[in-house]
Amino acid sequence: MARVHNFNPGPAALPAPVLEDVQAELMDYAGYGLSVMEMSHRAPSFMEIYERTEATLRELLHIPDAYDVLFLSGGATLEFAALAMNLMRTGRAGYVVSGHFSKVAMNEGAKYGEALCLATGEDTDFSAIPAKADIDAQVAREAAAGGLDYVHICQNNTIYGTMYQALPDTGDVPLVADVSSCFLSLPLDVERYGVIYAGAQKNAGPAGVTVVICRHDLIADGPALGITPAYLDWRSQAMKQSMLNTPNTFGIYVCGKVFEWVKEMGGLEAMEARNRKKASMLYDVIDHSELFCGVARPADRSIANVTFTTNTPELDREFVSEAAKAGLVGLGGHRLVGGMRASIYNAVPKTSVERLCGLMREFEELHAGTSATE
């Protein structure tokens, strides 16, 4: 069968040239006579892969030397605990709740210290990112009142389809961001952050790899808490090039291939332009539709996850089902929101988005007059 149009939220579409390369090298990597999966992580053949992977990522994101880059596992969920264990030195941190995962992160942080909710989008059902002015003011207030070890945000909210358009100003308080679903979708100004982390399974590679980019001075003294598992000790992992124990070697190798593909495609500036174009095609259909409407507040719309609905659950299901029949998969919205979600990460080509736009128009024509807003 031909490859489908893949709108999965993660694990998600990977670039076809990357998969073709991986396939070609699967039994014998670069003439070494074995698969990357069969190599010792300490062998020069793998260390070369690891170092090239890190170097390409550093190049793409212009990561300064003052930052360590780690390739770990356990996803953002495990890092929710790790960041508190590593950074909660005074035992007080601030969280902006802009969706499900940022709330989970806050609840996880509360196991290890005081996890303050600085602002929440709960009153809008997370269709909007809390206002920057409110966040900034609250950070300043709490930093002055009792100090903050860090301020945590989830920069793109996969489930709701919202994204920060501007970062909070946190002054001297390190900004920590879960960027899982917008990592490599656009450039990031790394120096604005203390820590950036991301599950790879959206834009960076297969599931099973977590990228952590951490300003070294924040971890130079080791983890804040003595109960930190060795595996989650960012300083130790940085000293050992993520090889305190055997890492997900194959996953890191595929990430490296994806990074090289991004570079060949023109880097993150080119990715952002492509992603904005794809997103605007979809938002344009939504904004001109009498059947479909967007879930996220227009000012906070994500360029990675486009959420929309007909406001009729039966019709939503019909659309997702019709789309699947036409070879467009992964369009069902998250159970917390319902409706539809098109995840249009880097590896989703414009042609797939065109096909989806076409299908939405056809579906609307077919169901003219059944809009729930009538």
Q: Which of residues 93-112 bind its own copies (CB under 8 A)?
A: 104, 108, 111-112
Q: Does 239 bind its own copies (CB under 8 A)?
A: no
Q: Does 198 bind its own copies (CB under 8 A)?
A: no
Q: Does 245 bind its own copies (CB under 8 A)?
A: yes
Q: Binding marks (x or -) toward its own copies, 298..337, rule CB under 8 A?
A: -----------------------------x-xx-------
Other Cβ atoms closer than 10 A to 225? 16
Helix (H/G/I), strand (E/B), else coil: 289: coil
Q: Least distance from C-beta 326 to its own copies, angstroms?
A: 12
Which of residues 74 and 171 has its CB atom nearest to its own copies in the complex?
74
Q: Does 241 bind its own copies (CB under 8 A)?
A: no
Q: Does 9 bind its own copies (CB under 8 A)?
A: yes
For its own copies, the binding residue among 64, 229, 298, 358 (CB under 8 A) is 229
Counted residue by residue, the chain has a size of 374
Name the phi and psi angles at 84, rounded to 5: -65, -45
Which stretch, 54-62, 131-139, 204-212, 262-270, contacts its own copies (CB under 8 A)?
204-212
For its own copies, the binding residue among 27, 131, 220, 368 (CB under 8 A) is 27
Which of residues 183 and 364 has its CB atom nearest to its own copies in the complex?
183
Q: For 294-349, where are the alpha helices, taking DSSP H only? A: 313-325
Token pair 């090889």: residue: 243
Which of residues 102 and 170 has its CB atom nearest to its own copies in the complex?
102
Q: Which residues contact 178 (CB under 8 A, 6 or more apart)?
A: 76, 79, 80, 101, 102, 105, 152, 153, 154, 155, 197, 198
38, 235 in Cβ contact below 8 A?
A: no
Distance separating alpha carbons of residues 124 and 261, to the nearest angstrom: 38
Q: Least distance from C-beta 309 to its own copies, angstroms?
A: 19
Other Cβ atoms closer than 10 A to 132? 15
Which stretch, 36-44, 184-192, 286-294, 298-306, contacts its own copies (CB under 8 A)?
36-44
Q: Which of residues 209-228 bind its own copies (CB under 8 A)?
A: 209, 226-228
Q: Least distance from C-beta 195 to its own copies, angstroms?
A: 17
Angle, in degrees to the nearest 10, between helices 267-287 and 249-264: 80
Q: Least distance from C-beta 29 to its own copies, angstroms?
A: 10
DSSP letter (8 states) at residue 121 = -
Which of residues 63 and 204 has its CB atom nearest to its own copies in the complex?
204
Q: Least distance from C-beta 334 to its own copies, angstroms?
A: 10
295, 127 in Cβ contact below 8 A?
A: yes
- Cα torsion 295, 301, 305, 309 to 10°: value is 20
Closest CA to 362 of 277, 306, 291: 291
Q: Which residues contact 271 (CB under 8 A, 6 or more apart)?
A: 184, 185, 186, 262, 265, 346
Q: Does 369 bind its own copies (CB under 8 A)?
A: no
Q: Which of residues 43-82 bind its own copies (CB under 8 A)?
A: 43, 72-78, 80-82
Q: Least distance from C-beta 165 to its own copies, angstroms?
A: 26
Q: Which residues contact 75 (CB under 8 A, 6 or more apart)?
A: 199, 207, 210
Helix (H/G/I), strand (E/B), else coil: 173: coil
Which of residues 12 and 139 has its CB atom nearest to its own copies in the complex?
12
Amino acid identity of residue 180, one-letter, is S
Q: Does 116 bind its own copies (CB under 8 A)?
A: no
Distance separating alpha carbons of residues 60 and 269, to the nearest angstrom: 9
Element housing 84 (H / E): helix 75-87
Considering CB under 8 A, how many residues would be counted as binding its own copies? Answer: 70
Q: Does 283 bind its own copies (CB under 8 A)?
A: no
Q: Least distance from C-beta 292 to its own copies, angstroms?
A: 22
Q: Which residues would be at the binding site for its own copies (CB under 8 A)?
A: 1-4, 6, 8-14, 16, 19-20, 22-23, 26-28, 31-35, 37-41, 43, 72-78, 80-82, 104, 108, 111-112, 199, 201, 206-209, 226-232, 244-251, 254, 327, 329-330
